[in-house]
Amino acid sequence: MTAMNHCYAKRRSALADFLSTLKRLIIKELRVEFRSRGMIGTALSFTVSSVIMAGIGYGGFLKDIHTAAVLFWIIALFSAMTPVSHLFIREEEEGTIGVLRIRFRSDAVFLSKLICGMLFVLLSLLVMAPLYVAFFNIYVADAALFVAVILAGGSAAACASAFAGALASRAGGKSALFAVLSIPAVLPVLIVSVSGTIRALSGAAGGWGDAAFCLCYGAVMAAVSVWLYEKIWMEE
């Protein structure tokens, strides 16, 4: 009796199957990353050391809101892009992508990596933001908006850079190529997040629109990336 025969006995909906697959893939990602510890440690130490270096270099109160927002997002975006690319690159480097290709659909694999990547990104941003505010003695006028922009901008950056990570891993160019590929996609996030952060720090209106834009942009990028990932799924 083959698996097909056996599967006929079950009447599960396609959606339930997909969600179960997604759950198992996410659990696998979390287990592998926490046990190898490479990526989390590197991402967090990069974030923290960047903030420390900037703080030492500046050495005081950062009163110019515009500079504060831009500096924050430069560091935040590079921190955000690292985990996502790492998830794809590690799979190719260790050769485990074969198991995924033979057993799972491309959209399930991509979404699982995207979701895990977003979780790591948000984690590192939530560590970074309080450090940043403390080191630069920044006054945040609208704290709720500040958090919302960070979460929305971080997820948008993760969604925008996921496909670049997948491409870089397939192309063998790894991290350097990934940075170059992801910059055009991440540009809109940078511009809008800086704008939203300025409004959050100064208390000006309109910042929630910036956060909403980031969420929509992230969603569209994720959808486009899922479709494109299937096109590069097979080896050439």
Partner 1 sequence: MTLYIITAVSLCIASVLAFAVAPPEKFLGESSRLIYIHVPLAFSAVLSFILSGVFSARYLVSPREMDEIHFHNAAVLGIFFTVLTAVTGAAWAHIAWGVWWNWDPRETSILFLLAVYSAYFALASSTGGRSARYRASYLLFAAAVMPFFVFVAPRIYPSLHPDTLINAKRTVKLIGSMRLALFVSMASYALLTLSLFDFANRVSLLERKSSQGE
Partner 2 sequence: MSVQFQVENISKRFGQKKVIEGISFSLRDGQTLSITGSNGSGKSTLLRLCSGLLRPDSGNTMLFVDGDRVPVAGGKHTAAAAPFLRWYSQLTAIENIELIHGDDPYLKRRTIEYCERFGLKDELGKMLSAYSSGMVQRFALSAAFGSCPSLLLLDEPGAFLDEEGKSLFKEIFAEESAQRVSIIATNDSDESLLCEKEVRLG
Which residues sit at the interface with partner 2, rule CB under 8 A? Answer: 1-7, 17, 20-21, 24-25, 27-28, 31-32, 35-36, 94-96, 98-99, 101-106, 234-236
- Minimal distance, residue 176 CB to partner 1, in Å: 8
- Minimal distance, residue 101 CB to partner 2, in Å: 5
The partner in contact with residue 7, picked from partner 1, partner 2, none with C-beta cut-offs of 5 to 8 angstroms by kind, is partner 2
Judge whether 84 and 161 are in contact, CB under 8 Å: yes
Q: What phi and psi values does residue 101 have, to the nearest 5 degrees?
A: -65, -35
Sole binder of partner 1 in the list 183, 202, 208, 215 (CB under 8 A): 183
Q: Cα(173)–Cα(83) distance, rounded to whole angstroms?
A: 17
Token code pair at residue 29: 């990602």
Residue 143 binds partner 1 (CB under 8 A): no
Residue 173 binds partner 1 (CB under 8 A): yes
- Alpha-helical (H) ranges within 95-105 are 97-103
- Minimal distance, residue 232 CB to partner 2, in Å: 10
Q: Left if phi > 0, otherwise alpha if psi is -120 to 50, otherwise beta: which for 52? A: alpha
Token code pair at residue 221: 């990028």
To the nearest 10 degrees (0 to 180), the angle between helices 143-171 and 207-231 is 20
Angle at 50 between CA 112 and CA 43, to 5 degrees: 25
- Residue span 151-170 as binding mask against partner 1, x where in contact by CB under 8 A, dash where not: ---------x--xx--x--x
Residue 225 binds partner 1 (CB under 8 A): yes
Judge whether 195 and 152 are in contact, CB under 8 Å: no
Output 70 or 131, the one with its CB closest to partner 1. 70
Residue 215 binds partner 1 (CB under 8 A): no
Judge whether 110 and 229 are in contact, CB under 8 Å: yes
Q: Count of residues binding partner 1 (CB under 8 A)? A: 30
- Minimal distance, residue 171 CB to partner 2, in Å: 16
Q: Cα(78)–Cα(70) distance, rounded to whole angstroms?
A: 13
Output 92 or 202, the one with its CB closest to partner 2. 92
Residue 7 binds partner 1 (CB under 8 A): no
Which helix (H) or strand (E) element contains residue 7?
helix 3-8
- Minimal distance, residue 88 CB to partner 1, in Å: 13
Output 71 or 181, the one with its CB closest to partner 1. 181
